[in-house]
Structure 1
Amino acid sequence: MHMQPWSPYGGGSPMLASTADRERAVDILRAGFAEGRLAKAEFEERVARAYSARTQGDLSVLVADLPHGPVPTLPAPPAYAPAPVHPPRSYATATNGKAVAALVLGILTMVSGGVTSLPAVVLGHMARGEIRRTGQEGDGCALAGLVLGWLWVAGWGLVWLFTVLARLR
């Protein structure tokens, strides 16, 4: 495809160039230089000739081998990293049921007189093992159930120990 040299009135026009015509030609030269189409020395020479051009034909010769508008380019990469997309919750990331049960039983030891403390400890240990294996959530619940369960086991153990010692005296 043959492009016509730049000129608002057609190529090779003998019409005198205006200051605006010269500026448009220099803008095309600047774009060509910025895109790497012109070497610095050639760019400077063409700009000097554009400012001294008398006719639009003189200007059209200076920009005839350059695109006369924006050249499509690839979009620039984003200046920031986009937010990560998290996959939907699945069984692997769901909260472990034994961990929740351990926490509930650990809390219930306060009102059950320690009856639920051993099940809380057992379920807490089982839950932590499953969580390490499967990557599920709920380690905090399992740990809290373990702590509460062991506190009540130790507390009731001390109560029984003191009771036995008191009877032995």
Structure 2
Amino acid sequence: MSYPTPWQGPPLQGPGVPSMLASHADRERAVDVLRAGYGEGRLDHPEFEKRVARAYSARTVGELSLLVADLPQGPMPQPMTPHGPVPPAFLPRPQPRTNGKAVGSLVCGVLCVVTGGLTGLPAVILGHMAQSEMRRTGESGDGMALTGLVLGWLSVAGWVMFLGLVGLLAAVAPLG
């Protein structure tokens, strides 16, 4: 069963309804409130059209106030809360923090090229420490730690081969 709303009936007269004549500006303000209500989904299209027609034909301010009585007076500000108007399923997932040691391992691994391999051992140590921490805390940065480890181990292997070659040459070559 549908109940009529006050704005659907004939113009109200009497002591409770303001009888001041409505101006064009009053009608436009009421239509603006109706547009905002329609835009927010508070009114369906046929009801919006009926209320707008009624607003333009209203004679008094009281009639206009009845047309917008069940609507907020303009667009309502939406609170900016983390789980306010947007359901949590549609919010972006919070990104885990990047492990600092993983970043350090990557930097040391890349600097192996510039430093001639001197930062290779710190890259390996930081990479292993970062992987251990990330398993424990759930932080991100696994790719950085792995890259630092690979570059660090390549540098360490290069130094081991170089020092082994120097040692082998020193052992084979007679000292003058």
TM-score by length of 1: 0.52
Matches of 1:133 and 1:17, distance apart in 2:
73
Structure 2 stretches lacking a partner, 5+ long: 1-6, 8-15, 135-144
8 Å contact from structure 1 (residues 22, 59) kept in 2:
yes
Q: Pick from 50, 65, 68: which aligns with 2:70?
A: 65
AA in 1 matched with 2:39: A
Unaligned runs of 5+ in 1: 6-10, 108-119, 165-169
Work out whether residues 29 and 46 of structure 1, in 8 Å CA contact, stay in contact via their aligned partners in 2. yes
Q: Distance in 1 between matches of 2:126 and 2:161?
A: 15
- 165, 169, 173: which one pairs with 1:154? 165
The answer on whether the counterparts of 2:33 and 2:73 sit within 8 Å (CA) in structure 1 is yes
Change (3 A) 1:95 1:24: closer
- CA offset digits 1:108-154 (Å, max 9, x no partner): xxxxxxxxxxxx9xx89x96995697369552334312212212313
Separation in 1, partners of 2:129, 2:68: 70
- % identical aligned pairs: 40
RMSD between superposed Cα atoms in Å? 4.6
- Flag the 1:28–1:132 CA change in 2: closer, same or farther, 3 A: closer
Structure 2 counterpart SS, 1:73: coil
Q: Which runs of 4+ in 1 moved over 2 A?
A: 67-77, 80-89, 92-96, 126-143, 154-161
* Aligned residue identity for 1:151: F
Give me the whole-angstrom Cα distance separating, in 1, the residues matched to 2:168 and 2:42: 87
Where 2:73 maps in the other structure, the secondary structure is: coil
* TM-score for the superposition, normalised by structure 2: 0.51
